[in-house]
Amino acid sequence: MIEREKATVSSIYRYPVKGLSPEPLDEVVLTPDETLPGDRIYAVENGLGRFKADDPKHLPKLNFLMLMRNERLAMLDTKFDPDSNQLTVFRSGKQVVSGDLSTKLGRTMVEQFLAGFVRKEKLRGAPHIVHAPGHSFSDVSAKCLHLVNLASLREVERVSDRAIDPLRFRANIYMDDLSAWQEFDWLDGEILIGECRLKVFKRTVRCAATDVDPKTGERDMALPALLERHWGHRDFGVYARVVEGGSVARGADIKTL
């Protein structure tokens, strides 16, 4: 990437509970070898599963409620207060449940709501909220950030002849003012975002979660198949590890090293 392109951070998001709605951020402070703060710190096991809070290990996403299998989750809007651990869930603008996820009572209230909301045929047992200090329920085992290039998205929109909500891809940082697919050229290289240095290490292989409209919960596209048909792969976005930390804000410059 040549510096005069002045690639920038368009938006920043975290997902406090895996599979539930994102929260936009204006600025964030990143730490080496960590995820974006507050990102995917809780998850909802599909039935009582294999996650052990006293010995946390990365597990495949199929262990948890998530959009690939539970598209109705996209119909919910959530707000999470990191100071109180209070999760509030809304449907169609109305509050349907609220609970402190650090307490058994609070978790039970949210779990019971989800048990009635998620289609029973897609449940392997009662939903079970899990958490462990310092653990992230990312789709990959490495602690990292997920980056998406909006120019690449515009190419997918052009080919599909329709507008596509970027939030289908559930990225942490959306970037603009790049060339389409330029992010793939960064693989195994380093970039500067604001004050931070990141190493790009993996392309993001997309699953059926991207087929779900994040506002309606409708499964109305086949994005992995579209990527495969037109570009010969199912990759969209990249993962990057924080090498040097610092502040990143909306509008921050992005440069290659």
| pLDDT tens-digit map of 145-190 | 999 999 999 999 999 999 999 999 999 999 999 999 999 999 999 9
Tens-digit pLDDT profile for residues 216-254: 999 999 999 999 999 999 999 999 999 999 999 999 999
Instruction: Kindly report the pTM of this predicted structure.
Output: 0.95
Residue corresponding to tokens 């993962």: 239
Domains, the chain, in order of start with CATH, read 3-34+140-256 (2.40.33.20), 43-130 (no CATH)
45-96 pLDDT, tens digit each = 999 889 999 999 999 999 999 999 999 999 999 999 999 999 999 999 999 9
Average pLDDT over residues 20-37: 97
The number of beta carbons lying within 10 Å of the beta carbon of residue 107 is: 22
182: its two tokens? 């330029």
- Which region, left, alpha or beta, applies to residue 161 given φ > 0 means left and ψ of -120 to 50 means alpha? left
Residues in the chain: 257
For residue 109, how many C-alpha atoms fall within 13 Å in the half-sphere facing its CB? 14
Backbone angles phi, psi at 139, to 5 degrees: -75, -15
Q: What is the pLDDT of residues 93-107, one digit of tens each?
A: 999 999 999 999 999
Contact yes or no for 43/19 (Cβ under 8 A)? yes
